[in-house]
Amino acid sequence: MTDSTRAAKAAQPAPKLEIRDLCKSFGALKATQGASLSILPGELHALIGPNGAGKTTLISQLSGEILPDSGQVLLDGHDITRLPAFKRAAAGLARSFQISQLYPEFTVEDNVAMAVQAHAPQRYNLWRSARRDPQLREPARAALARVGLQDRAAVRVSDLAHGEKRQLELAIALSLNASVLLLDEPMAGLGAEESLRMKDILMDLKGRYAMLLVEHDMDIVFALADRVTVLVYGKPIFTGTPAQVREHEEVRDAYLGRE
């Protein structure tokens, strides 16, 4: 290793989230095969690959819903591989789901406030109305403002458009004071206008959070991502900038296709 290479490596910030040789099998199916990647502070890192590549399984191992057979998951250098999901969330790792998990009978603000209450370390006064508790409501309103839903706070979730539900899901993740966001197909089911709105929201969040984005819309991926990892059969085959991914022959053959 040359002196310039050592200097460049030393100047690079430590990863916020790091995956080392992660493996997971379901019987004979190898869903994750020695997956390794890192996400730097403020970086939006995209994970792409064909259907069945293991992207959601990998995200589930990072969030703690599935435990790997081997390998490590490090958050700020600390091994969280065996921590349950709620402890990972408390440590700063938040996931937004591919399928929205919301309470349709409650308002938009209620949904975020309940997430704040569920993940807060302190106990709340049982005699005080949760609807008036500033410790719940102020973080909820701040999160809604960050995703452009502040004017929809009093609307019942069942009355939201699909795209607004995805925005709400992201607001819930932001309300948990996370430093790392796992975004599992935030554009799924969105129309063109809704996708552009979500793209603008994620662009505004870039630099404030480390983000791992799983997404099939390549125009969105290449517009947002700082780096892209390509996953095929549970194994990363390449990591690079969007421009490098576009030109990589193996990636084009496996996933992007040729003109």
For residue 202, what is the domain's CATH number? 3.40.50.300
- Residue 170 in contact with residue 102, Cβ under 8 Å? no
Phi first, then psi: what are they for 46, rounded to 5°? Answer: -95, 145
Residue 121 domain-assigned?
A: yes
Identify the weakest region by mean pLDDT among 122-131, 169-178, 205-214, 216-225.
122-131
Domain termination site, one of 129, 151, 177: 177
| pLDDT higher than 50, residue 43 | yes
Residues 194 and 88 in one domain: yes
Residue 126 domain-assigned?
A: yes
Q: Quick one: pLDDT at residue 126?
A: 44
Phi first, then psi: what are they for 126, rounded to 5°? Answer: -70, -20
Label residue 165 left, alpha or beta by phi (over 0 means left) and psi (-120 to 50 means alpha).
alpha
Q: Quick one: pLDDT at residue 246?
A: 87
Structural domains of the chain, count: 2
Residue 97 domain-assigned?
A: no
Residues 59 and 128 in one domain: no
Residue 211 domain-assigned?
A: yes
Residues 147 and 28 in one domain: no
Give the predicted TM-score (pTM) of the model: 0.86
Identify the weakest region by mean pLDDT among 101-105, 222-226, 239-243.
101-105
Give the mean model confidence (pLDDT) for residues 27-32.
Answer: 92
The CA–CA distances, whole Å, from 91 to 6, 76, 187 equal 31, 10, 26
Residues 162 and 127 in one domain: yes
Residue 1 domain-assigned?
A: no
Phi first, then psi: what are they for 34, rounded to 5°? Answer: 60, 40
pLDDT digits (tens, 9 = 90+) for 31-42: 999 999 999 999
pLDDT digits (tens, 9 = 90+) for 57-68: 999 999 999 999
Question: Which domain covers residue 124, as residue numbers?
Answer: 103-177
Residue 113 domain-assigned?
A: yes
Q: Quick one: pLDDT at residue 127?
A: 39
The CA–CA distances, whole Å, from 153 to 61, 139, 187, 206, 247 equal 32, 13, 22, 24, 44
Residues 147 and 109 in one domain: yes
Please tell me the distance from the alpha carbon of residue 174 to that of residue 237, in angstroms, as a whole number. Answer: 31
Sheet holding 93-96, edge to edge: 93-96, 180-184, 210-214, 44-48, 227-232, 235-240
Please tell me the distance from the alpha carbon of residue 16 to that of residue 43, in angstroms, as a whole number. Answer: 9
Amino acid at site 111: N
Please tell me the distance from the alpha carbon of residue 63 to that of residue 8, in angstroms, as a whole number. Answer: 31
Residues 140 and 201 in one domain: no
Residues 171 and 185 in one domain: no
Please tell me the distance from the alpha carbon of residue 77 to that of residue 232, in angstroms, as a whole number. Answer: 27
- With pLDDT > 70 as the criterion, what percentage of the chain qualifies? 87
- What is the average pLDDT score of the chain? 87
Q: Which residue has the tokens 């966001």?
A: 181
Residues 146 and 253 in one domain: no
Identify the weakest region by mean pLDDT among 4-13, 187-196, 224-233.
4-13
| pLDDT higher than 60, residue 86 | yes
Strand pairing category for 44-48 and 227-232 = parallel
| pLDDT higher than 70, residue 254 | no
Please tell me the distance from the alpha carbon of residue 53 to that of residue 129, in angstroms, as a whole number. Answer: 46
Helices (H), 35-174: 55-63, 85-91, 108-119, 134-146, 162-174
Tokens encoding 176: 């948990």
